[in-house]
Amino acid sequence: MQPSTVSAVNAADVRARHKEFLFPCVANYYEEPIVLTRGDGCCVADADGREYLDFFGGILTVGLGHCHPEVTAAVEEQMAQLGHTSTLYPTQPIVDVAEQLAKITPGKLKKSFFTTSGTEADETAILLAKIFTGKDEIIALRHGYSGRSLNALSLTGHSPWRLISTQVAGIKHALSPYCYRCPLGLAPDSCGVRCAKDIEELIQTTTSGHPAAFIAEPIQGVGGFITPPPEYFEIAVGIVRKYGGLFICDEVQTGFGRTGDHWCGIEHWGVEPDIMTFAKAIANGAPVGATIATPEVADAFTGLTISTFGGNPVTMAATRATLQVMERENVPKRAAERGRQLRAHLEAFKEEFAFIGDVRGMGLMQAIELVEDRATKEPAKGKTNQLMEAAKRHGLLIGKGGLYGNVIRIAPSMLVTEAEINDGAARMRRALAEVK
C-alpha cells in the first residue's frame, strides 16, 4: 500500500470520542475497534500502521476495492465542475447511469429513481408498488433485511433489528428458504419447496387476498447469506402474481456481479422482477440507492416527490465510473471464478473444523455457519466472536451475520486476485485453528 498522505491519527482518541459523541447504536466490530485510515484495493490500514486484507469490503460495498483510481478521478473531476444541482435539472451523469442500469438489469426494467441508500431504494419500491396496484399489503420474508426506516424495520424479519414494537400495518412475513434450518423441518431433496408454496396460504389467510407486492433478496444478506433452492423464486413469484402482486427484487447486496456470472442475483433463478432495488456496490462506496422498474409500473408514479441528494452529479459520476470499470473487467465472471476458489477453501475448512455446520452462498458472497454441534445445530455465537477476533489478529477482516449472530460472511472486492484469495484463506485457517 502507498504511504499515507494524511496527518497522523490517534486511534485511542478516535475510539474515546466515538464513544462520547456518537449514538451507542453506531456499533463497531471487535473488542478494540479498528480505526481505519487508508485503503487500496483489498487492503486497508489502521491508525497504528497495521495492514489488513479486507474480505468484507465495507459490507459488500467497495465492489472494486478501496479507492479505485478511476472512481476517485471521476468524483474529483465532477466535484470540481458541478457538485450539486438537485433533481430539478437533468444532468449527463444521471441519464448515463439510468441508461446503463436499464442495459444491465433483466427483463423489461427500464426507468430509475435515485436516492442515497438501500433503505430509501426499498421505500421507493414499496411506495411505487402501492401506487401502481392501489393495494397496501406487502409480503416480506423472515430473516430478510430492508433497512432502517419504519417501513424497512417492519419489512425486516429479524427481531434484534426491529428495535420498537410498533410496526407498519399490512406487512406479512413468509417463511425463509433457509434450508440449513428449514422452518418446516423438511430436507431440501424431498421438501417440494414447501416454504415457497406456503405463500399461497399466507395470502389466503393473513391478507385481503390482494397483496401489492412481494419483496425479497435473491440471497438473504444480513440473514447470513441464506441461499434459496433454485426453484424457490419461480414458485413464490408465480403465486404472488396470481394474486395480483408485483415482485420487488432487493439486489442491494447481490447486485453488480456479486453472485457470479450475472449482473443481478435474481438472474440465476430465471424470474423477471417488476421493480428492483440497488445500493452498496453501485458506486463503490459513494452514497447511492436506485430503484428501477418496468415502464408500465414506473409510469404510475406521477405525484410530487423529491430526493434532494438522489442522483447528485458527483455520486452519479462515481456510479458511472464504477459501472464502466465493472463492465470492462467483467466482474460477474471474475466473481464466479474467484468465488469457486474461495468456496473450495471453505469446504475444506468444513472437513477440518467440526464447528462449521454449513457453507453456502454464490460467487463472492460466501458464508460459514458456526454451530456447537452438527447434530443439534445449536448456534455457536461465542465461537463466531472468537473467530472474528482471531481473524483480526491475523490481519483479515470478515463480516458477521445471521439471526443468531453465528454466521461469518465473506465478500471481498470483485477484483480480488487469485493470490489474495489464497492469502485470505490461509489467514482464515490460522484463525479457525485458534477457536476453542
Under the rule (CB under 6 A), what is the footprint of ligand PLP? 117-119, 122, 145-147, 217, 221-222, 250, 252-253, 279
CB of 187 to ligand PLP, least distance (A): 27
**CB within 8 A of 111, min separation 6: which ones?**
98, 102, 292, 293, 294, 295, 298, 299
CB-closest chain residue to ligand PLP: 118
CB of 63 to ligand PLP, least distance (A): 14
- Considering the complex, state which of residue 146 and residue 406 has its C-beta at the smaller distance from ligand PLP: 146
Alpha-carbon span 323 to 283, nearest angstrom: 8
* Cell numbers that stand for 350 in this block: 468444513
- Considering the complex, state which of residue 158 and residue 430 has its C-beta at the smaller distance from ligand PLP: 158
- Considering the complex, state which of residue 283 and residue 368 has its C-beta at the smaller distance from ligand PLP: 283
Q: Which helix (H) or strand (E) holds 304?
A: none
Q: Which helix (H) or strand (E) holds 69?
A: helix 69-81
- Considering the complex, state which of residue 37 and residue 253 has its C-beta at the smaller distance from ligand PLP: 253
CB of 46 to ligand PLP, least distance (A): 23
Query: What DSSP designation does 116 have?
Result: S
CB of 189 to ligand PLP, least distance (A): 28
Query: What DSSP designation does 41 have?
Result: B
CB of 158 to ligand PLP, least distance (A): 11
CB of 98 to ligand PLP, least distance (A): 19
- Considering the complex, state which of residue 199 and residue 216 has its C-beta at the smaller distance from ligand PLP: 216
Alpha-carbon span 205 to 211, nearest angstrom: 12
Tallying the residues shown for the chain, one arrives at 436
**CB within 8 A of 332, min separation 6: which ones?**
257, 260, 261, 262, 263, 363
Sheet order of strands, 246-250 included = 111-115, 289-293, 275-278, 246-250, 213-216, 138-141, 171-174
CB of 96 to ligand PLP, least distance (A): 22
- Considering the complex, state which of residue 60 and residue 323 has its C-beta at the smaller distance from ligand PLP: 60
Residue 206, SS3? Answer: helix
- Considering the complex, state which of residue 149 and residue 206 has its C-beta at the smaller distance from ligand PLP: 149
Contact assessment for residue 145 and residue 161, using Cβ atoms and an 8 Å cutoff: yes
Q: Which helix (H) or strand (E) holds 292?
A: strand 289-293
Sheet order of strands, 356-362 included = 356-362, 365-370, 407-410, 399-401
- Considering the complex, state which of residue 47 and residue 365 has its C-beta at the smaller distance from ligand PLP: 365
CB of 352 to ligand PLP, least distance (A): 30
- What crossing angle do the helices spanning 232-242 and 194-206 adopt, rounded to 10°? 20
